Structure 1
Amino acid sequence: MNVASIFTQLFAVAASVLLAPLFSGWVAQCRAWLSNRSAPPIWQPYSRLRKLFHKDAVIARDATPLFRAVPYMLFGVMVAAAAIIPSLSTDLPFASVADAIALVGLFALARVFIALAGMDIGTAFGSMGSRREMMVGFLAEPALLMVLFTSSLISGSTLLPTIAEALQSRALAIHASLAFAGVAFVMVLLAENARIPVDNPTTHLELTMIHEAMVLEYSARHLALVEWASSLKLFNYACIGFALFLPWGLAGRADGVLWLLPALPPLLLKLLVAGFAIALIETLSAKLRIFRAPEFLATAFLLAVLGLLVHLMLQH
């Protein structure tokens, strides 16, 4: 581990943390354009975070220390996840101690604690949202693992930087297994990030909320950290998709301070396309009823398993 590698790691994490709200603002802007509405400024998430950080927090009387600690823990977990996902470079020293399976564990850890925080106050909506969130996670995690297993069999490793390097070195071609896995990954991304058709991040109807129902009691800096962590989670999932299916443009081994700059334009371009694609899917889809969500995620799991089986069949 040299100084250049450490700089690469720190720069990649800082870029992820700073670009995450911008990516969420871009998705919201695309949704407004596609719905023929006036689009909010792309920097609106930054303004909202700044406003929330300057407000005084209002905490329920029955809140335990867990309720206060969860926003900080949630944000920290998402930053840790960003440290092992190759967004700009594959030269990530921290990634060598955590593979893709550990990454799924980090997302599961964040889900468990935000669900506990939703039930901590004892409100009906918080408990309902927590139960629904755990149900979605229980169904989405196996599908995500199958997607990661398919890519790991192709590259021979479960480390995301190694997977990205292996796929980056291959000639541009359509792999049937990755095609099935890609569709499954998009479905998991929508479910895990509270997007339509599984959830609606802009809903005001309490009975249909999942993620928002768990954070109704948060305010000020706590709500700012939760929203920032949500944006960072969406950004992380997008970068996982880039590493698995579009790894081109990533920088290799560090050899200088300015060496990372050429990797920024490809990342921004992929984020522009991904944000528009997410907004387009949400605009063309209708929110599913909660009892239809298991069918949606079961389809994602079957597609991921089909991709794995196709890869194994083509190997023999």
Structure 2
Amino acid sequence: MTVYGLISQLLAIIVALALAPLLSGWVNQWRAWFQNKTPPSLFLPYRTLHKLFNKESVLAEHASSVFRSAPYIVFGCMALAASIVPSLSTDLPLSQAADAIALVGLFALARVFISLAAMDIGTAFGSLGARREMLIGFLAEPALLMVLFSASLISKSTSLTTMVETLAHRELAIYPGLAFAGVAFTMVSLAENARVPVDNPATHLELTMIHEALILEYSGRHLALIEWAASLKMFTYSCIGLALFFPWGVAEAQAPFELLLALPVLVGKLAIGGISLALLETASAKMRIFRVPEFLATAFLLAVIGLLVHILLAG
């Protein structure tokens, strides 16, 4: 592990923790503008986290250690996932120990614990949300793996840093398979981050909510960690999409000057992505819950088509 690698890794973690709530505030602000509403403050997520961290956590009477530890495990998984995605530099020591399959495993581990915590206290809403969350995960994770495998065929590696180095630092080429994978990744990202049309993060209607049903019993610092983890998850998915489909601007190893330029480039790409997400949500309608399997099955098929297209063209 070099000093430059350690600095790059620490900077990646700090940037993820700091910018994740800002990205959520940016998306919410543009979503309100597109809907002709008064937008909330850009820094509202930070104020919400500060308020929750200073409140007392109230626990259910029969809550077990699973319910108490789930927020810390979920937050840890999301922070670790954000740290292995090459958002600023490809010189990340942690990425050498975890590839794309391990990244999907971190998302799955966080989902399992938040679902177990929701069922732990025995409320109807918690069990309902847990079942829906596991259904979405069961369908979304294979599609995400197929998207990552499509990129791995180009780089001949499942390492995210190798994928970025291969895609960003070679001659410009058109990969039709990545076009299918990009559409599939967008659909999976909407489902995994509880966005319209799969879920509405602003609703508390018991017949439609998924993510909110999981966290109704949390409060105080536990709720703050879960909300922060949700922002980190959206930030991580955004960085995965940028790394796979818009990898330009990521610094190479042993390039301090490129690392300094990578931060404003990342902020600019996230800003454009946040506006696109807000526009997509505004133009979409919330679908019924039983249509979600069809939505994610389509994403899986598109990812598989992208994989097969690349194999056929390469052969």
For Structure 1 versus Structure 2, the TM-score category normalised by the shorter chain is: over 0.9
Task: Tell me which residue corresponds to 1:233.
Answer: 233
Whichever residue aligns with residue 97 of structure 1, its letter is A
Please state how far the C-alpha of 1:170 moved relative to its aligned partner. 2.5
Partner Cα separation in structure 2 for residue 108 and residue 272 of structure 1: 27
Partner Cα separation in structure 2 for residue 141 and residue 66 of structure 1: 23
Task: Tell me which residue corresponds to 2:94.
Answer: 94
Whichever residue aligns with residue 274 of structure 1, its letter is G
Which residues of 2 match residues 109-188 of structure 1 at below 5 A?
109-188=109-188
Task: Tell me which residue corresponds to 1:274.
Answer: 273
Task: Please state whether the residue corresponding to 1:209 is helix, strand or coil.
Answer: coil
Q: Deviations over 1:187-213 (max 9, x none)?
A: 000000000111110002122110110
Whichever residue aligns with residue 292 of structure 2, its letter is A
Task: Please state whether the residue corresponding to 1:208 is helix, strand or coil.
Answer: coil
- TM-score normalised by length of structure 2: 0.98
Task: Please state whether the residue corresponding to 2:226 is helix, strand or coil.
Answer: helix
Please state how far the C-alpha of 1:174 moved relative to its aligned partner. 3.1
Q: Deviations over 1:83-134 (max 9, x none)?
A: 1100111110110010000100000000000000110110000000000000
Task: Tell me which residue corresponds to 2:42.
Answer: 42
Partner Cα separation in structure 2 for residue 298 and residue 259 of structure 1: 40
Q: Percent identity?
A: 65
Number of matched pairs:
315
Task: Please state whether the residue corresponding to 1:218 is helix, strand or coil.
Answer: coil
The answer to whether 1:242 aligns with 2:229 is no
Partner Cα separation in structure 1 for residue 152 and residue 310 of structure 2: 11
Task: Tell me which residue corresponds to 2:66.
Answer: 66
The answer to whether 1:315 aligns with 2:314 is yes
Task: Tell me which residue corresponds to 2:51.
Answer: 51
Whichever residue aligns with residue 29 of structure 1, its letter is Q
- Do the aligned partners of 1:125 and 1:207 also contact (CA within 8 Å) in 2? no
Whichever residue aligns with residue 145 of structure 2, its letter is L
Task: Tell me which residue corresponds to 2:303.
Answer: 304
The answer to whether 1:292 aligns with 2:291 is yes
Please state how far the C-alpha of 1:172 moved relative to its aligned partner. 3.1
Please state how far the C-alpha of 1:265 moved relative to its aligned partner. 1.2
Partner Cα separation in structure 2 for residue 31 and residue 121 of structure 1: 34
Q: Deviations over 1:10-30 (max 9, x none)?
A: 111111111000000001001
Task: Tell me which residue corresponds to 2:205.
Answer: 205
Task: Tell me which residue corresponds to 1:18.
Answer: 18
Partner Cα separation in structure 2 for residue 71 and residue 254 of structure 1: 36
Task: Please state whether the residue corresponding to 2:264 is helix, strand or coil.
Answer: helix
Whichever residue aligns with residue 102 of structure 1, its letter is A
- Do the aligned partners of 2:146 and 2:304 also contact (CA within 8 Å) in 1? yes
List gaps (5 residues or longer) in structure 1.
none
RMSD of equivalent CA atoms = 0.9
List gaps (5 residues or longer) in structure 2.
none
- Do the aligned partners of 1:8 and 1:254 also contact (CA within 8 Å) in 2? no
Displaced runs of 4 or more, over 4 A: none
Whichever residue aligns with residue 69 of structure 2, its letter is A
Partner Cα separation in structure 2 for residue 235 and residue 24 of structure 1: 8
- TM-score normalised by length of structure 1: 0.98
- Do the aligned partners of 1:143 and 1:184 also contact (CA within 8 Å) in 2? yes
Please state how far the C-alpha of 1:255 moved relative to its aligned partner. 4.5
